[in-house]
Structure 1
């Protein structure tokens, strides 16, 4: 059974999360391992765990001092687990956490192929597409201030 857990960088599962992010997100596009960990200490980390293995993860980074605006980053699901709804479980948990912690807005930089995934979860595209790490991305956001 898959559980979604909120962890920090001191949790033993954090090392498994780091490895998953490197394997799924960074290595395929030639970025050095651990290159996107600059916000990890101040962020919330959500991991999908099955049989003591991290099979999915997403990081929520506060963007302002009040922690009312955040950025969803480093979303990854193990290759053989993709398409099974794990990413959706992670984002729904992240959004529920955001609402309960009075976060008003969650933004993300979505790779082109992930745009429909985020649209289906209530995010919207804003601003112009841009290139990040050599890949076209879209600015996306969801407003939780209802």
Structure 2
């Protein structure tokens, strides 16, 4: 397999637009959801990571500051034909590194039920009870990410 490259991309860039399309196609559209102009404008306060194999976009994740110590990871997607190849794990690990470099000590997220096992394998723990968000089961999760 070609080496995986993960890059931070700028909101509003051509690369950002490609990640929005990936998120729309695989996360939003199957649920009958669409991005609003307000949601995309709010993305400007987040950091965006994109995963590439060669020059092909295969995944992305968004991280958003919640407070001085906490980042929220959201909208993690790996193209279905590239799942199971370590792309999701690499994106999560890079997101944690970016958060640490921003002096954050905790990452929080709302995991879809289908992704809970991945997050648990990477050290995330359940917070509270499962709930329904955007019409599907989710679990709030968190992880301490301070430098060792």
- Per the TM superposition, whether the score is higher than 0.5 is yes
Residue deviations 1:38-59 (CA, integer Å, cap 9, x gap): 5310001010012322110000
1:58–1:74 Cα contact (<8 Å) kept: yes
Aligned residues: 144
Return the alpha-carbon distance in structure 2 between the equivalents of residues 104 and 52 of structure 1.
32
* Residues 27-106 of structure 1 aligned to structure 2 (within 5 Å): 27-33=29-35, 36-37=39-40, 39-64=42-67, 66=68, 68-106=69-107
| Backbone CA RMSD of aligned residues | 1.6
2:17 paired residue number: 15
Residue deviations 1:63-111 (CA, integer Å, cap 9, x gap): 12x3x21110000011111111100010011111222221111100001
Return the alpha-carbon distance in structure 2 between the equivalents of residues 8 and 34 of structure 1.
19
1:24 has 2:26 as partner: yes
Return the alpha-carbon distance in structure 2 between the equivalents of residues 121 and 37 of structure 1.
29
1:117 paired residue number: 118
Task: Give ranges in structure 1 of 5+ residues lacking alignment.
Answer: none
Return the alpha-carbon distance in structure 1 between the equivalents of residues 44 and 140 of structure 2.
24
Judged with a 3 Å threshold, the aligned counterparts in structure 2 of structure 1 residues 22 and 91 are, in CA distance, closer, same or farther, namely same
Return the alpha-carbon distance in structure 1 between the equivalents of residues 125 and 40 of structure 2.
26
* Comparing 30-39 and 100-109, the one that deviates more: 30-39
Task: Give ranges in structure 2 of 5+ residues lacking alignment.
Answer: none
- From the two aligned structures, give the one with the greater helix fraction: 2
TM-score, with structure 1 as normaliser: 0.91
